[in-house]
Structure 1
């Protein structure tokens, strides 16, 4: 046990679990999903959404009057599905099954059915709802798009090692070409119930837990969950869950080639009038270099590069949550990123706080005090 703890603290987090704390995984999950497949949104103005998507670095894979499918350069399914709707909203994630038999296993274990996906996507799906009411699909057999030309990482002279000789660095001012979908973060008023649902039904495992300062004994309020691929490393988090006064989308993240692609792509976005929310910096949990942007509907999206990859052997880290603890370096977390800048979003969240305190959920008065302490830390 001591040797395992040394590996954990040396490679991952300063602190692990205390006796009796959440183990961060289910003993016998129904299935173990392989990865995120795509995210689904509804948007009232598909033309405007597609224009931003191209500036952000997506390529349109398919388009009709009512739907836009956006992809990265990696082969596989589209990253994002945009459908026309009366208002802008996040519909839910789709996860990729590890094998086709898992759909039957999941359907049998949840009392649901395996259904066919639209022909534009191909394949089959099991459609579920998590305890927060978010629609969750697990899919298999979808059409695979071929790889596109990728943005090549730059050759770097690091320290005294000379890899680039008689050549300059001139990263072009162009969109940072999205390679793939990395993760999605959602907020829930029923954090513990929702966390356990993903562990038990989809086989996700926790990379890191965060708790409110002074409230560790009440349990975590945020978790970063990765796919369990055994000895094959997976992204530090594919899904992150955080406790809050409403059930809502927080942000989604998309991998790009390197820091130059991310930074030059950010300049391209700024020149076209789009709004940076926070960045550039490097996270602590996950270690990604990040840059956050608001799309025209106010949804938060992230470019990232150089993230952590863990295999199934690593146990969860535990740390107190703080605004200053969101990054190792970079500018302080902005009010916009934290959702507390004056505007419609913060007003909606304030109304949600009042409603949540009147209802039977995990977001009580002590949790509100903890959240306010985090926002000011």
Structure 2
């Protein structure tokens, strides 16, 4: 198609902002340890296993409740509404919410055009709840989570959220709070320095280990939140007017004095490539995007085997998922040599 442009406008980008606090680390830790399908891909898997052996019966009960109902999502949603970083103030904030406010804040944001439906759902409107479930059915847990928020007793949910945050904070976060804060602050300082050198989209891709995010019409802000708990994963979420990336902090922020320590994601990438089945999968995906069924049939591997290998490739940020199909992240492969060069020269 031949096109002549007569517009004088440049494509607008988004504003990049940062937030960090121990509250985010606490909520993401609760999310990570209850995400059992991904637990074996986390850098802190062994540490979490050790923590779990020491958990009180009460904390184990609350974590089981999180895993069953995905209430980690409620914690993250509420943290985006709460202004501050004081732990006691956050738990008091939860307690003081009305029934409608609690439901509204816990329901996921699914678009500007559905904000009124979200509001009606928080008021108990069954039709609005059903609509929210319908428009989010592509997400594997959203419909069930929405139904849970609709049905749960507000006082019980408040009690649970305050309890699991308090127990996790006291057992996992508080004993190493100074160490964690130091890591987050070092990483934030590094990222802010680099922010001045790159355009917004290039910068977000660099921070999030290759996530390419182009501006959306309704998104004017990208919020970057550093975390060490979910490494090597970047967690993506939506808020009104905002795209959120909870990104994994760099190795240099964790071990600033060890110049020989390679970045964890760099290790993950090369480990992921060191397997014949995974290389065969990548060659197939270099030719076309595929469903899990197509991969198993084309490469003659079992479904559980294929799923395991694809999980490792996703953890290494080499493979992604779009519209229920696995897709090769070509830029992630192309940047490998440069990442290795940067490691040698750092």
TM range, smaller chain: 0.3 to 0.5
More strand by share: 1
Higher helix share: 2
TM-score when normalising by structure 2: 0.33
